[in-house]
Chain A
Amino acid sequence: EPEVTQTPSHQVTQMGQEVILRCVPISNHLYFYWYRQILGQKVEFLVSFYNNEISEKSEIFDDQFSVERPDGSNFTLKIRSTKLEDSAMYFCASNPRETYNSPLHFGNGTRLTVT
């Protein structure tokens, strides 16, 4: 069964550094998402992306965050200048359009640690 793939599984960075988290959604999917889970807390929506543009974003998704689909397969989340509070698990997800509200397929997550 096709999977959403995320790399790296764990990223350690210093405060103030830029990080890029990478995701390869399922190939025929058209909607892409990033969610975040601070350790021990609930999973929170960050942003959804469709047709090469952001379709919705949360209050968390401020100017430090950006998303991009640089080619036909990758979907990236960039944090420009990381803060300690950005430490979290970041999940990428995707779903197709033809099946309205099909369940989100989540990747295994990237654990970001900001020191």
Chain B
Amino acid sequence: AQKVTQAQTEISVVEKEDVTLDCVYETRDTTYYLFWYKQPPSGELVFLIRRNSFDEQNEISGRYSWNFQKSTSSFNFTITASQVVDSAVYFCALSDTSITQGGSEKLVFGKGTKLTVNP
């Protein structure tokens, strides 16, 4: 069964600190996708990144970077020079893709990490 573990329930940092959010996943699929979503206090889910299981290259987008390591089944997310606006709950998710369903995509989410960035 698919499973996503975000062991860090809450993290609190001071502005400008770097912070890494951990994500470990379990799957028997050879092809899968990993995601990160941000949920600010207003409640919506904001897509941050999707990573194909065949692409282990790290990705950087501004202050955000992601480290995908298949060997350890981890997909960690780092925010560099954190800002107060980064305060949110961050969810890691894994696709549970039913190939027979064509493009249908069912995501399995972790429990989320609440990040608080203090001024």
Residues of A with Cβ closer than 8 Å to B? 30-31, 33, 35, 41-45, 48, 50, 55-56, 89, 91, 95-109, 111
Contacts and interface: CB of A to CB of B under 8 A. Distances in A.
Interface of B: 33, 35, 37, 42-45, 47, 50, 91, 93, 95-98, 101-112
A50 B104 contact: yes
Contacts of A56: 98, 101, 104, 106
Contacts of A109: 43-45
Contact of A31 (B104, B109, B112): B104
Of A33, A95, A97, A103, chain B has the most CB atoms within 10 Å of the CB of A103
15 contacts: A42-B110, A48-B101, A50-B102, A55-B104, A56-B104, A95-B103, A97-B102, A101-B95, A101-B105, A103-B35, A103-B47, A103-B50, A104-B47, A104-B107, A109-B45
Given A97-B102, A101-B97, A101-B103, 4 more contacts: A45-B108, A56-B106, A98-B103, A101-B33
Nearest to A44: B109
Given A105-B47, A106-B45, A42 B102 contact: no
B44 A108 contact: yes
